[in-house]
């Protein structure tokens, strides 16, 4: 096994949003410094980082300087331009590795990868032309959902088709971007597994959480999820299989639909995940620290939960509830330091902690 990165080393993080911010705090807890690379000024992560580079992903000099100033590179989002990765990887290790990014940056590549592992995914069909749309609708039918192959998040780049009548509007929504038509999976609920894999191949999973989305945006994650013991094991095995297949290093979020026929993989995210925020107050080692441990080569935490938690996102106007939430018992408030509370913008989250009886 590789030696762990020396205490006091610097972890470079691509992206300065709330995930980078919470990764930075976790890094400090283990005695590491962070250096944030982010195109926009004054990002949330900058407030708790040792160094910040404000530059575009097209700025080759800035990328090289950043890489030379850090000991290892990780990221808080998967849509990093390939050209930037080409420069960075010649200078420092990037963890998780490029294969995970390649697979997760494109919905079709991702689904083909997952199917190739023998895992269930929603039926899907590539759509770039009107002809392909016709073929896809014939194969998949409605209800279904048309999504851009790349750069989608929080329900963006998605259009639902309840019937053939929605075809034109949905197709127009994609604005010519390469897309995929996905069949609707009849699921009772969605769960996600936050899984981690270390540099030596050890895998550790947190308990599955149950997710509720509204308008394509995650609202709550509840731990424990409604899931019988056998499916709980299935969920963990699916996540482990994915991580091992990618020779993955770091934390990954794996979203699963629970159906009578078993678990269907919705999507994977090669990074810490919103549905893993509950771990901050439910576990001694949270997903952010788990990711840092993996990235620097330290042993992973075992994912054990000491308390049950309900995580709730604070989106847009939810910020008005903060004064009240601060007064509630066993509620941990986590704000992201964003200046403006726009509609649909994730401003923070709360973890309602319920002492477990074990």
By CB under 8 A, name the binding residues for a second copy.
Answer: 4, 7-8, 21, 24-25, 28-34, 46-50, 281, 284-285, 293, 298-299, 301-302, 304, 306-307, 323, 326-327, 329-337, 339, 348, 351, 353-358
Q: Is 193 helix (H, G, I), strand (E, B) or coil?
A: strand
The nearer residue to a second copy, 157 or 301, going by C-beta atoms, is 301
- Measured from the CB atom, is 263 or 272 closer to a second copy? 272
The helix/strand count (H/E) of the chain reads as 11, 17
Task: Please tell me the distance from the alpha carbon of residue 354 to that of residue 48, in angstroms, as a whole number.
Answer: 29
CB of 171 to a second copy, least distance (A): 41
**Nearest distance in Å: CB 205, a second copy:** 14
Nearer to a second copy, 48 or 108 (CB): 48
Contact 193, 235 (CB under 8 A): yes
| Cβ(209)–Cβ(308) below 8 Å | no
DSSP one-letter string for 58-106 = T-HHHHHHHHHH-SEEEES-S---HHHHHHHHTTS-BSS-HHHHHHHTS
Minimum separation from the CB atom of position 94 to a second copy (A)? 22
Query: In angstroms, what is the minimal distance from the CB of 290 to a second copy?
Result: 11
Question: Toward a second copy, which CB reaches closer, 176 or 299?
Answer: 299
Shortest distance in whole angstroms from residue 296 CB to a second copy: 11
Closest CB to a second copy among residues 124, 288: 288
Residue (6 or 156) nearer to a second copy, CB? 6
What is the rounded distance in angstroms from the CA atom of residue 290 to the CA atom of residue 193? 14
Nearer to a second copy, 172 or 326 (CB): 326
| Between 240 and 351, CB nearer to a second copy | 351
- Shortest Cβ 269–a second copy spacing (Å): 23
CA distances from 259 to 115, 121, 142, 155, 262 (A): 17, 12, 18, 22, 5
- Is 75 within 8 Å of 19 (Cβ atoms)? no
Nearest by Cα to 181 from 120, 133, 238, 225: 133
Task: Write out the H or E segment, with its range, that includes residue 266.
Answer: strand 262-269
Q: How many residues does the chain have?
A: 358
User: Shortest distance, CB of residue 28 to a second copy, whole angstroms?
Assistant: 5
- For CA atoms 24, 26, 31, 32, the dihedral sign is negative
User: Cis omega before residue 23 (within 30°)?
Assistant: no
d(CA 67, CA 77): 17
- Rounded least distance, CB 111 to a second copy, Å: 36
C-beta closer to a second copy: residue 50 or 89: 50
CB of 291 to a second copy, least distance (A): 14
């Amino acid at each position: 096994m590789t030696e762990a990165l020396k205490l006091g080393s610097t972890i470079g993080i691509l992206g300065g949003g709330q995930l980078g911010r919470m990764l930075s705090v976790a890094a400090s807890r283990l005695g590491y410094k962070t250096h944030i690379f982010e195109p926009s000024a004054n990002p949330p992560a900058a407030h708790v980082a040792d160094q910040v580079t404000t530059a575009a992903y097209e700025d080759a000099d800035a990328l090289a300087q950043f890489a030379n100033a850090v000991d290892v590179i990780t990221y808080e989002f998967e849509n990093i331009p390939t050209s930037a990765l080409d420069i960075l990887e010649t200078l420092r290790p990037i963890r998780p590795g490029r294969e995970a990014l390649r697979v997760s940056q494109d919905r079709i590549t991702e689904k083909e990868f997952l199917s190739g592992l023998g895992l269930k995914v929603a039926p899907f069909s590539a759509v770039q032309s009107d002809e392909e749309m016709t073929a896809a609708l014939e194969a998949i039918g409605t209800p279904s959902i048309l999504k851009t192959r790349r750069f989608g998040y929080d329900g963006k780049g998605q259009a639902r088709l309840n019937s053939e009548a929605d075809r034109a509007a949905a197709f127009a929504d994609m604005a010519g971007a390469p897309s995929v038509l996905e069949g609707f999976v009849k699921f009772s609920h969605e769960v996600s597994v936050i899984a981690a894999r270390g540099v030596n191949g050890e895998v550790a999973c947190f308990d599955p959480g149950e997710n509720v989305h509204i308008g394509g945006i995650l609202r709550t994650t509840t731990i424990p999820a409604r899931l019988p013991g056998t499916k709980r094991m299935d969920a963990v095995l699916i996540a482990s299989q994915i991580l091992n297949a990618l020779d993955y290093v770091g934390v990954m979020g794996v979203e699963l639909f629970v159906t009578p026929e078993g678990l269907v993989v919705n999507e994977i995210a090669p990074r810490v995940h919103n549905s893993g925020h509950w771990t901050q107050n439910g576990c001694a080692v949270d997903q952010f620290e788990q990711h840092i441990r993996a990235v620097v080569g330290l042993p992973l935490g075992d994912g054990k939960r000491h308390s049950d938690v309900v995580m709730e996102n604070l989106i847009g106007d939810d910020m008005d509830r903060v004064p009240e939430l601060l007064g509630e018992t066993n509620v941990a408030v986590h704000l992201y330091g964003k200046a403006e509370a726009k509609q649909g913008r994730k401003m923070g989250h709360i973890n309602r902690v319920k002492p477990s009886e074990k």
